[in-house]
């Protein structure tokens, strides 16, 4: 059985033929044809999640881990607007979502009907493509037109780079009628080729550069790409900057950028500045490196991505190359020559220094967020998929570098605190590996509807670092000096996660000191459970920013003393 709406039976048929398997549906009536059309397909796993905002982030986590497009479907009106945060995140993080919004017929818009807004192109700024699929498909021409539209939408979700695509679906009543068989469609095939470049000319420009800085942004693990980058790191003129969320773990890479940048004094800045930047991947967490490179002058900047996007992060002389980064670098490496430069040695020596000073500082500090993260980062088991919340968790993680057997994720496309727990929950649904979410208190409470979900899996572990508010604002210049800090920026509170955990049958643990953390953490992370578990770690509000400021001051002064 399927919906009598022929457009939906065609869409569901092509969805399956494309090899897609999951749809996350939020309750409603106007989207009944979508529910009937997809949920009755044995090849499709349909999930129900009430809160549309959480549902969309849950689907984002599923797509993040599966590498396949996941559909989300909702009723008309404000329900569709609740998808917007996750769609924006998927757009900037390049995660494939197929967004299906049920709607009233066009002639009913702006007529005072219930649950009716202007939905066509509502996400225009944050989707790769936007379509409206007509309801009535009767003639061969109608079928051909609808078939082409659906094929284009499904293909755009994945190629040439993934991202969200919107299909608006106006339906007239009745909405619940069913028929035995719907119509079938033909899947169209698409071919893509990397743009061709003159690598001889590019290699000449590369070889003329005595200071080349690779900056690797957020991306999924790609062992072959990591191998190529490692080959480049053997050249004396090349330094590779990466972050935990870059997922390219190598000891030869500078993987704790802020630690190093914070120690570079004005008199040595020019020595550390490159004459060529090669960037790849998505967003970079470090504000320090952005500021450092934006102050530089006359730098060539090559950005590599399949879509050829003009991501001028560093305000330099940008050239965008439409090509898979690995393919580009493999060709460039064939012609690359060592420039007999001291650039890599300069960065590597500074990296070794700051790693040593970091470890010595951490030996004797009071109980605070930094000490907690030092413990957490050292205890996360190999094979963990680690989800880092905005805003302090993902920043703290960068101070400790990355491990080769841990996969790092964070919603750094837009960098909002909304939906981070829902995303991790969706990831845990798809993969059986330990999924560990480390979040701050405000991020947790903001997305606590993520727990209102019958699809939560027992491999989900949640760590909430509760310092009584938005601790990042005590470190950022501006809010820290404001008289409105506690009420409007930091948002001081005395909330606890315990009752929320109990309400949704999540196993709860808590600690407020280092000894307690060291006692509870091994079993919390390693023991199997039949339900999700949450560990709430309380830290002192006033101490955290003070210690972090002392940390960077210590690094800078220690390096200066031996330089």
d(CA 410, CA 385): 11
**What are the sequence ranges of the domains in the chain?**
2-179, 199-351, 365-554
Q: What are phi and psi of 22, to 5 degrees?
A: -130, 140
CATH class of 2-179: alpha beta
Q: Pull the structure tokens for residue 154.
A: 């499904």
- Judge if 2-179 and 199-351 fold alike in CATH terms: yes
d(CA 109, CA 76): 11
Structure letter (DSSP) for residue 485: I
| Second CATH level (architecture) for the domain 199-351 | 3-Layer(aba) Sandwich (3.40)
Q: Pull the structure tokens for residue 522.
A: 């091994």
Structure letter (DSSP) for residue 417: S
Q: Pull the structure tokens for residue 12.
A: 């569901």
pLDDT beneath 50: ranges in the chain: 473-474, 479, 488
pLDDT of res. 109: 79
Within 299-385, where are the H helices?
325-335, 343-362, 369-379
Q: How far does CA 376 lie from the centroid of its chain?
A: 21
Starting at the edge strand found earlier in the chain, the sheet holding 97-103 runs 45-48, 22-25, 70-74, 97-103, 165-170, 129-132
At what angle are helices 325-335 and 199-208 packed, to 10 degrees?
70
pLDDT digits (tens, 9 = 90+) for 310-339: 999 999 999 999 999 999 999 999 999 999
What are the residues facing 214 on neighbouring strands?
A: 240, 278
| Second CATH level (architecture) for the domain 365-554 | 3-Layer(aba) Sandwich (3.40)
pLDDT digits (tens, 9 = 90+) for 430-443: 999 999 999 999 99
492 touches 486 (CB < 8 A):
yes
168 touches 119 (CB < 8 A):
yes
In angstroms, the Cα distances linking 27 to 73, 138, 260, 351, 396 are 9, 29, 50, 52, 38
Count of helices and strands (H, E) across the chain: 20, 19
């Amino acid at each position: 059985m399927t919906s009598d709406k022929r457009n939906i039976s065609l869409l569901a048929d092509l969805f399956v033929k494309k090899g897609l398997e999951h749809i996350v549906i939020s309750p409603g009536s106007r989207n009944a044809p979508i529910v009937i059309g997809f949920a009755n397909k044995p090849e499709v796993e349909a999930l129900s999640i009430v809160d549309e905002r959480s549902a969309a982030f849950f689907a984002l986590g599923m797509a993040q881990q599966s590498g396949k497009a996941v559909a989300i479907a909702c009723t008309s009106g404000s329900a569709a607007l609740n998808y917007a945060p996750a769609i924006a995140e998927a757009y900037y993080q390049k995660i494939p979502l197929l967004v299906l919004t049920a709607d009233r017929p066009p002639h009913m818009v702006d007529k005072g009907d219930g649950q009716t807004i202007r939905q066509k192109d509502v996400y225009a700024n944050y989707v790769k493509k936007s379509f409206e699929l007509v309801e009535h498909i009767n003639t061969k021409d109608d079928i051909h037109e609808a078939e082409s539209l659906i094929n284009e939408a499904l293909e755009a979700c994945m190629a040439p780079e993934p991202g969200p695509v919107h299909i608006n679906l106006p339906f007239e009543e009745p909405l619940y009628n069913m028929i035995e068989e719907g119509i079938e469609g033909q899947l169209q095939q698409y071919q893509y080729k990397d743009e061709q470049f003159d690598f001889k000319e590019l290699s000449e420009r590369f070889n003329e550069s005595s200071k080349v800085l690779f900056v690797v942004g957020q991306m999924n693990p790609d062992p072959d790409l990591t191998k190529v980058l490692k080959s480049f790191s053997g050249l004396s003129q090349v330094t590779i900057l990466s972050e935990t969320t870059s997922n390219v773990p190598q000891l030869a890479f500078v993987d704790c950028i802020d630690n190093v940048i914070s120690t570079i004094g004005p008199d040595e800045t020019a020595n550390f500045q490159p004459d060529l930047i090669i960037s790849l991947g998505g967003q970079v967490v470090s504000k320090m490196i952005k500021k450092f490179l934006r102050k530089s002058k006359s730098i060539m900047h090559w950005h590599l991505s399949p879509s050829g996007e003009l991501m001028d992060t560093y305000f330099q002389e940008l050239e965008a190359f439409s090509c898979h980064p690995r393919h580009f670098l493999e060709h460039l490496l064939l012609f690359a020559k060592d420039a007999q430069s001291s650039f890599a040695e300069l960065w590597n020596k500074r990296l070794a220094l700051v790693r040593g000073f970091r470890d010595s500082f951490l030996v004797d500090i009071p109980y605070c967020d930094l000490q907690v993260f030092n413990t957490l980062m050292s205890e996360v088991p190999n094979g963990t998929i680690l989800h880092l919340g905005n805003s302090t968790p993902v920043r703290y993680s960068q101070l400790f570098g990355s491990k080769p057997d841990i996969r790092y994720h964070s919603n750094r496309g837009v960098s909002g605190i909304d939906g981070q727990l829902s995303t991790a929950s969706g990831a845990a649904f798809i993969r059986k590996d330990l999924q560990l979410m480390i979040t701050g208190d405000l991020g947790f409470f903001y997305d606590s509807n993520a727990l209102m979900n019958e699809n939560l899996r027992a491999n989900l572990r949640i760590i909430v670092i509760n310092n009584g508010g938005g601790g990042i604002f005590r470190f950022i210049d501006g809010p820290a000096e404001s008289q409105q800090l506690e009420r409007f920026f930091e948002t001081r509170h005395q909330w606890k996660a315990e009752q929320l955990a109990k309400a949704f049958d999540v196993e709860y643990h808590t600690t407020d000191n280092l000894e307690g953390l060291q006692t509870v953490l091994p079993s919390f992370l390693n023991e199997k459970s039949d339900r999700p578990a949450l560990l709430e770690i309380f830290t002192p509000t006033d101490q955290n920013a003070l210690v972090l400021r002392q940390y960077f001051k210590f690094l800078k002064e220690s390096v200066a003393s031996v330089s």
